[in-house]
Amino acid sequence: MGTTGEDFDVVVVGSGAGGLTAALAAGVAGLKAVVVEKTELFGGTSALSGGNVWAPNAPEFQRVGQKEDPEHVLDYLVKIAGDDVSTERLRRYVDEVPKMMELLESRHEAFEKRFIWAEDYSDYHPDQGGNPRGRGLWPPVVDKRRLGDDAQYLRGGKVRLPGAPKATWMTGIDLHDLIALRWGGLRGWKPVVRLAGRTVVTWVKRSDMATGGQALVARLYLALKQIGVPVWRNTPMQALVTDEGGRVIGVHVVRDGRPMRLTVRGGVILATGGFDHNAEMRHRYHPLIDHTWSAGSPDNTGDGIVAGEQVGAALELMDDAWWMPVMHLPNAFPLQVLERSYPGQFIVNSAGRRFVNEAAPYTDFVHVQLENHAAGVSHIPVFMITDDRAWKRNVIAFRLPGRKMPSDWLDSGLVSKADTLEELAAKIGVPPATLAETAERYNRFARAGRDDDFSRGESAYDNYYGDDSYPNPNLAPVDKPPFIAFRLLPGDLGTKGGLLTDSDARVLRMDGSVIHGLYATGNTSASIMGHDYAGPGATLGPAMTFGYVAANHIAAALRSAD
């Protein structure tokens, strides 16, 4: 079978939010572009995600009166990431993210509804200049039927509470409101009524709603369709093509089983996600981690990173990831964003001791977990210790409060239950006397509403998913048997190390020189967040923004060459 070919201005590799935004910017700039996607499904991890986009000064923030001094935003980024990332790249992000969001909004047919401010979903470090009111935007929901036949190829699915009717759908805001309800009737049942009403309407109209990251990807895909930029599914990139001077001039792909060489006049934009599920790379860079704990898209195997490395690219931040504690349940690893903020739980290592502010931002939590593990005390897994009161009051692992615990949780030995803390300690293999001592100290702090060891509950971020019926929304005693222990593992939302890029998203060599014709964004590139995470949406925001930057850089270069 011979190789066929086709010429483009831009080839975008990968159909997550980074790739689709790059292709949109290229198409709007009048370039001949194509997106090649390895799998049958488009959307990558982006379509599995919450879809929150960290976008300070986006048009929506201007409309809701949350305009900020860009220097203030930059100062925050420099503080949290400046040791590892150039100020130039950070400044570029601050300057370009509002323009990228403007581009989306300008595609009226696909983005006919406004993005929604995740109000009070605080930046992750309000103590370092982060905004406690939040800089994240949720994408507006969309009926997938608008995608026509292509809807079946959109990756991802609905967030559903067990037992909820099929037609029920939830946004990030609904989830927050439902959790805050606490089933104690304290806040009224408004969110439940809202969900019930919506379920009926959805059922009557036979709608098929996409929310979160699926909605973001669906809308980007619609925008591409409207300007005629194709997305070729089942088309994995195999390798980059370079000329004798080292410039990237195309890609080898296999399209529906047939080898093809795509030649580019402008450049190739790599947006293939991270190496989340490349077992060999994970073992090399993250020896303590099992890739099955990652919530990243199963087909993200570092292809863009490997291809870039083969043409001489420098790699950075390979030891890091968008870490996320996950609960170890039979056949499931639910993310632990909410539960760690609830009062009425504390988390211990194998020595039975607390080691961190449980409610800390997820990536920080795992950083401490891994550092402590390396120091000699096992922190894989760690144990969330909770009690009957908290179980009956909170949504835990997507189960409504107080519902019977699934028998396989206990039968598998992954979740343990006991009438005393000492008994529980014996079941999970931590020293009983130490666990009792830890509980006693924690309960003292909880009753006083102040955590003298780890300052839990003192940040607006901690409080967001807390329970404000307590004086400290993140602290309540753990003293009502039976006690329960959940195992938590260091999972992730995807990896964050990859190809080193400059402020134009161009890929660099070790000596700092540019590999002409090659661009990278999203988790294929070394993150502009360095080892940190600015706030909700701080992975999608940069992925989309530097996709946009790359496409515009190519457009400008082609214009000046013509």
Judged by CB under 6 A, the chain residues 312 through 371 that form the site for ligand FAD are 322, 335
Q: How far is the CB of 345 from ligand FAD (least distance, A)?
A: 21
Of 10, 11, 12, 13, which one interacts with ligand FAD (CB under 6 A)?
13
Between CA 293 and CA 286 the distance in angstroms is 12
Q: Is 139 in the site for ligand FAD (CB under 6 A)?
A: no
Q: Is 103 in the site for ligand FAD (CB under 6 A)?
A: no
Spell out, one character per residue from 363 to 402, where the chain touches ligand FAD: x when CB under 6 A holds, - when not. Answer: ----------------------------------------
Contacting range for ligand FAD; rule: CB under 6 A; set: 71-79, 295-303, 338-346, 470-478: 295-303
DSSP line for 348-406:
E-TTS---S-TTS-HHHHHHHHHHHHHTTS--SSEEEEEEHHHHHHS-BTTBPTTPPPP
Residue 144 or 353: the one with the smaller Cβ distance to ligand FAD is: 144
Q: How far is the CB of 519 from ligand FAD (least distance, A)?
A: 13
Cα Rg of the chain (Å, integer): 24
**Residue 522 CB coordination number (10 Å):** 34
Q: Is 98 in the site for ligand FAD (CB under 6 A)?
A: no
Of 12, 25, 33, 50, which one interacts with ligand FAD (CB under 6 A)?
50
Roughly what angle, to the nearest 10 degrees, separates helices 87-106 and 212-227?
Answer: 70
Of 195, 396, 540, 549, which one interacts with ligand FAD (CB under 6 A)?
540
CA 369 vs CA 127, 345, 354, 366, 491: distances in Å: 21, 17, 11, 5, 11
**Residue 413 CB coordination number (10 Å):** 11
Of 16, 27, 325, 457, which one interacts with ligand FAD (CB under 6 A)?
16
Q: How far is the CB of 239 from ligand FAD (least distance, A)?
A: 9
**Residue 458 CB coordination number (10 Å):** 17
| Nearest of 326, 325, 329, 348 to residue 430 by alpha carbon | 348
DSSP line for 483-546:
EEEEEEEEEEEEE--EE-B-TT-EEEBTTS-EEEEEEE-GGGBPPTTTT---STTTTHHHHHHH
**Residue 318 CB coordination number (10 Å):** 18
Query: Which residue reads 């079941």 in tokens?
Result: 427
Contacting range for ligand FAD; rule: CB under 6 A; set: 7-15, 88-96, 366-374, 390-398: 7-15
Judged by CB under 6 A, the chain residues 452 through 511 that form the site for ligand FAD are 493-494
Contact between 341 and 394 under an 8 Å Cβ cutoff? The reply is no
Residue 297 or 474: the one with the smaller Cβ distance to ligand FAD is: 297
Q: How far is the CB of 142 from ligand FAD (least distance, A)?
A: 16
DSSP line for 134-157:
--EEEPPPEEGGGGGGGGGGB---
Residue 57 or 300: the one with the smaller Cβ distance to ligand FAD is: 300
Residue 59 or 498: the one with the smaller Cβ distance to ligand FAD is: 498
**Residue 504 CB coordination number (10 Å):** 18
Q: Is 51 in the site for ligand FAD (CB under 6 A)?
A: yes
Between CA 342 and CA 336 the distance in angstroms is 11
Judged by CB under 6 A, the chain residues 418 through 457 that form the site for ligand FAD are none
Contacting range for ligand FAD; rule: CB under 6 A; set: 49-57, 142-150, 455-463, 510-518: 49-57
Spell out, one character per residue from 197 to 236, where the chain touches ligand FAD: x when CB under 6 A holds, - when not. Answer: ----------------x----------------------x
Contact between 401 and 391 under an 8 Å Cβ cutoff? The reply is yes
Q: How far is the CB of 207 from ligand FAD (least distance, A)?
A: 23
Residue 362 or 483: the one with the smaller Cβ distance to ligand FAD is: 362
Between CA 115 and CA 219 the distance in angstroms is 11
Of 8, 9, 12, 15, which one interacts with ligand FAD (CB under 6 A)?
15
Q: Is 299 in the site for ligand FAD (CB under 6 A)?
A: yes
Residue 121 or 454: the one with the smaller Cβ distance to ligand FAD is: 121
Judged by CB under 6 A, the chain residues 17 through 46 that form the site for ligand FAD are 17-19, 36-39, 44-46
- State the number of binding residues for ligand FAD (CB under 6 A): 42
Query: Which residue reads 């890091």 in tokens?
Result: 320
Of 56, 334, 522, 530, which one interacts with ligand FAD (CB under 6 A)?
522
Between CA 550 and CA 96 the distance in angstroms is 11
Between CA 442 and CA 311 the distance in angstroms is 54
Residues β-bridged to residue 232: 36
Q: Is 545 in the site for ligand FAD (CB under 6 A)?
A: no
Residue 48 or 505: the one with the smaller Cβ distance to ligand FAD is: 48
Q: Is 57 in the site for ligand FAD (CB under 6 A)?
A: no
Q: Is 303 in the site for ligand FAD (CB under 6 A)?
A: yes
Q: What is the DSSP letter of 42?
A: B
Roughly what angle, to the nearest 10 degrees, separates helices 87-106 and 540-561?
Answer: 90
Contact between 284 and 263 under an 8 Å Cβ cutoff? The reply is no
Of 12, 249, 271, 518, which one interacts with ligand FAD (CB under 6 A)?
271
Between CA 65 and CA 21 the distance in angstroms is 26
Residue 335 or 505: the one with the smaller Cβ distance to ligand FAD is: 335
Residues at the site binding ligand FAD, with contacts judged by CB under 6 A: 13-19, 36-39, 44-46, 48-52, 213, 236-237, 271-273, 295-297, 299-300, 303, 322, 335, 493-494, 522-523, 537-540, 543
